[in-house]
A and B are shown apart, each in its own frame.
Chain A
Amino acid sequence: MKEPQDSHEPGSVSDLHDRLVDRALAETLGGEMPPDLSARILAKGPTTTSERPTAGNSPLVVVRWSLLATAAMISIIATTVYLLSDAGSWKSARVSSKTDRLTKLEQVSGKRKTSRGAVELSRRINDAGGLNSKLSEQAAQQLVESPGPKRTKESLLGNFAVSLPALKEAGEDLDRKRSPSEGELLTVKDGYEPVAFGYRWTDDSTKDTGTKWGFPSSRLQQQNEVRGKFFSTLEADRRNDVLRGINPPIIFDGEHFDSGERRSTIARSAEGTGPGSPGDHYTRIYENPFIEAVGGDAVSTFSIDVDTASYANVRQFLMEMRQLPPPDAVRIEELVNYFRYNYAGLKADDEAPFAAHVEVAGCPWAPEHRLVRIGIKGREIERDHRPPSNLVFLVDVSGSMNEPNKLPLVVDGLRQLTHELGENDRVAIVVYASSEGLALESTRGDNQAAILGALDQLRAGGSTAGGAGIQLAYQIAEDHFVRGGTNRVILCTDGDFNVGVTSTAELERLVAKKAKDTRVFLSVLGFGRGNLNDAMMQTIADRGNGNHHYVDNLREARKVLVEEMTGTLVTIAKDVKIQVEFNPAQVAGYRLIGYENRMLRTEDFNDDTKDAGEIGAGHTVTALYEVIPAGRWVDEPAVDELKYQRTKKSLSDSPTDASGELLTLKMRYKQPEGDVSRKLERPTTDDGRAFAVASADFRFAAAVAEFGLVLRNSAYRGDATFNTAVEIAQSSLGEDARGYRAEFLDLVRRAQELQPDH
């Protein structure tokens, strides 16, 4: 294809279009995303641009602005009086700030009240001079306050001491050695705006090193085993992360630092410490152990899980926060299931809603073991043949959602989904905060203007009354129930159900009852960080016959709501259970990788009253078993042999099966509107193939599992390392049309940077 000679002249239209595609590729493939500058702009702006006057309300706005201006004046005068009265204190090299000196966020005429500590910090840094731009008091307030938008008294993380730069040293390089006992001070690198601080630490006893943001507590500073170097957040992306609360300044206690809990300390800013405490909440994961395949123990039963929330969450930890995730945030099955695998679909005459495949090959992290992959592929439904939908967007608009990566991202994601809807669909919007409300009556999907207009009107404010909101959403969905269609509540929240209804158990019962009685299912989309209640969202999505995803950026929103829309919205089978019976003649022991919170008892498999996971149209579900071949020792937890039963030894000594089968896979499922399950069954043999000749999808799934094992620092990780995970994944990228597998490589490499010894 020869192009006209003049078409590439700089500045020609053709050249400009080329430049546009170049920029767009840099963003879509290269990850050069626009930063979130909103906090920085709001911090610097004399007013918030979100309050722009419009032609229709100008007079009211003028009055409001007058009130705001008056309030701001009063605030400035009060601040000035304070500063004058306390001027001498700035000259002190060390500033101690106590929790009780940090004022809780208060709204004064729509503006944040600035704490004395923040005023002082701002003033001291700005007085240092030599900076391109000044640190506003609002920004300083964000700096000295603890993480998260819902700042309660408990979230201020105790006392801390702030060591500020020796102001005369501004302009010098920041990375100066610091003696913690002497409290040598920070200096600010010329040309940067110091919006947050951190330090690099070294633990003398373990020789571990790491990076922390924020100021260490005075207790920590006195600990001899921890030495550190202070620095400020200089890179633009980190700075923005800090300001928007994704990577807030961390202030920690020394006791978390020297007791082998480093991994949880790393993620402390995001990990809740228990009920009622601030931070993100995860359910504790107890890894499945190896089980000896003897007698009744030769059977393993679990519910499928198509959720992908953990992968997106881990990605945000690694790529945006540059931290290793807490182990309990790493659900290996969700990492594996984030990716689509090329499993063969159903034949036209198949009655079952999904096809099942089993592949067996060597185990990459334990060469003497075998790895069994069970793959399920749900029936595909073309978008054009998607059944009609009755959707209710249940949107959390409480105060904690007032962050760029929360409500605005919710709105953008739902806008994308709305574009995909048509005349056969209906959408209603229910919001909940201090009280629940109907933001949009159930509206036909082709009335895009009404739906998009209602989404644009959503504003965050107030506390959360999640339970009441859910009840209203179900009521709207029931009122417009579409027989034979998709009836679904899509809950968008950071999971902060802190007002009104009540306990997780009560919500569980509510959504489970609704799913059973009304056949309205629930999808849960998690957003943001700081209050992320992963545990609750996981649970209610499970009970509500739905799926749970974490949305960390617009691309993920598009993946969940547009690219995989039919899978997310259209359930093709519910209560899908898997039971694997291992043949003791071939298998000494086995371990299911992941699915810890999906385990069922053997007898639950045939019990149709027992709830299990749902599978959507076109979904693929993958489960991996690590198998110890017969004749090898299974390292089970030590338990005394039973005195009055046949011993395990006597059972394992006489395996009688001569079929050569490795296992039998059994599956049970119900039709989406049915109550009686059907069973599928297929035996599998092991052809002894090596890992190297396994299918690319098998190898990639193994690489993802290996990554999860290392990330969790699993007791069963064997020879697994980040390095081998990268090598395996690199050799098994396959087609990877949308680049998700390539992105996985980036994640592993980032984890490796953060923990090079793994």
Chain B
Amino acid sequence: MLIYRHQAGVWRYLRFLGAEQTEADDLTQETFLSFTRADFVERDPRQTVGYLRTVARNQLLALRRRQNREVNTVELEAADSVWAAAAGPDGSLSGYLDTLRDCVAELRGRPREAIDLHYRHGAGRDAIAAKFDMKPDGVKSLLRRTRALLRECVERKINSANRRSENRP
């Protein structure tokens, strides 16, 4: 059950850190195998999530070293902090993803269209630029601004839900 519960979170985390899909597949597998071999005693699910993340990060670092690719460990640490704040206590990111879906549903107009074209239909910047009669750099900015809006929306909703939960008697 531990694998079922945590594998998606570990995989997403590795993808977030920059692993390719196939790399994330392999590294998730290695993470759990390494976890199994270790003498880790589970005391608290949050601790388990943190431990799995550390193992996964180390697996990625080891892979990059084998590939002679440089890794910015400072950035990696910063990325870990961002992830830990967003992924929720179970480390799966599920709550974040669900909230993001709601936020996307609230998007309207060109931002929504651009996001749909890019993520849902796999359209590149050039294709979107041609459709919107914009420059590709403009599309890049549009996508980035829309993602920033979505981030604000997600954080606002999550904070609001947390406050409601804290106020519950």
A residues with CB within 8 A of B = 1, 3, 8, 10-11, 13, 16-30, 32, 34-38, 40-42, 44-50, 52-55, 58, 236, 404, 408, 412, 416, 446, 456, 459, 554, 558, 562, 737-739, 742
Contacts and interface: CB of A to CB of B under 8 A. Distances in A.
A45 B32 contact: yes
Given A28-B104, A53-B41, A21 B151 contact: yes
A40 B29 contact: yes
Contacts of A18: 144, 147-148, 151
Contacts of B82: 13, 16-17, 20
B62 to A, nearest CB: 16
A236 B23 CA distance: 11
A52 B32 CA distance: 11
Interface of B: 1-5, 7-8, 11-12, 15-16, 21-22, 25, 28-29, 32-33, 35-37, 40-43, 72, 74-75, 78-79, 82-83, 86, 93-94, 96-98, 100-101, 104-105, 115-116, 119-122, 144-145, 147-148, 150-151, 154, 168
B1 A459 contact: yes
Given A18-B147, A23-B12, A37-B29, A446 B43 contact: no
Contact of A1 (B11, B100, B145): B145
Given A11-B74, A408-B1, A554-B94, A54 B145 contact: no
B97 A24 contact: yes
Nearest to B5: A408
Given A37-B7, A53-B41, A58-B41, A16 B101 contact: no
A29 B104 contact: yes
Contacts of A48: 3
The 8 closest A-B pairs by CB, nearest first: A11-B75, A29-B119, A34-B11, A34-B8, A737-B105, A408-B4, A21-B147, A16-B82
Contact of A24 (B22, B25, B75, B100): B100
Contacts of B122: 30
B148 A50 contact: no
B35 A49 contact: yes
Contacts of A562: 98
A36 B15 contact: no
Contact of A50 (B3, B74, B168): B3
A342 to B, nearest CB: 15
18 contacts: A11-B75, A17-B82, A21-B150, A25-B119, A26-B119, A29-B116, A30-B120, A37-B25, A38-B4, A41-B7, A41-B33, A44-B29, A45-B33, A52-B42, A55-B42, A55-B43, A739-B116, A742-B120
A44 B33 contact: yes
Given A37-B29, A47-B36, A54-B41, A17 B21 contact: no
Given A16-B79, A25-B119, A408-B1, A738 B41 contact: no
A24 B120 contact: no
Contacts of B86: 20
A38 B115 contact: no
B15 A53 contact: no
Given A18-B147, A55-B43, A554-B94, A50 B16 contact: no
Given A446-B168, A742-B121, 19 more contacts: A16-B82, A18-B147, A18-B151, A23-B15, A28-B97, A30-B120, A34-B12, A37-B3, A37-B11, A38-B7, A46-B37, A50-B3, A50-B4, A52-B40, A53-B42, A58-B41, A236-B21, A739-B104, A742-B120
A492 to B, nearest CB: 16
Contacts of A58: 41
A149 to B, nearest CB: 14
Contacts of A558: 98
A1 B29 CA distance: 43
Contacts of B96: 20, 24
Nearest to B31: A41
A52 B104 CA distance: 38
B36 A49 contact: yes
Best-surrounded residue of A20, A45, A737 (most CB of chain B within 10 A): A20
B151 A17 contact: yes
Nearest to A562: B98
B52 to A, nearest CB: 10
A459 B5 CA distance: 13
Contacts of B42: 52-55
Contacts of B72: 11
A34 B7 contact: yes
A490 B72 CA distance: 50
Given A37-B7, A55-B43, A28 B101 contact: yes
A36 B33 CA distance: 15
B83 A20 contact: yes
B144 A54 contact: no
Contacts of A25: 100, 104, 115, 119, 147, 150
Nearest to B100: A24
Nearest to B35: A49
A485 B87 CA distance: 36
A3 B40 CA distance: 44
Contacts of A27: 12, 97
A54 B5 contact: no
Contacts of A739: 104, 116, 120
A456 B6 CA distance: 13
B11 A35 contact: yes
B14 to A, nearest CB: 10
Given A34-B12, A47-B36, A53-B41, A29 B120 contact: yes
Contacts of A16: 75, 78-79, 82
B116 A742 contact: yes
Best-surrounded residue of A10, A41, A416 (most CB of chain B within 10 A): A41
Given A8-B144, A37-B29, A28 B3 contact: no
Given A21-B147, A25-B100, A25-B115, A38 B3 contact: yes
Contacts of A22: 147
B25 A236 contact: yes
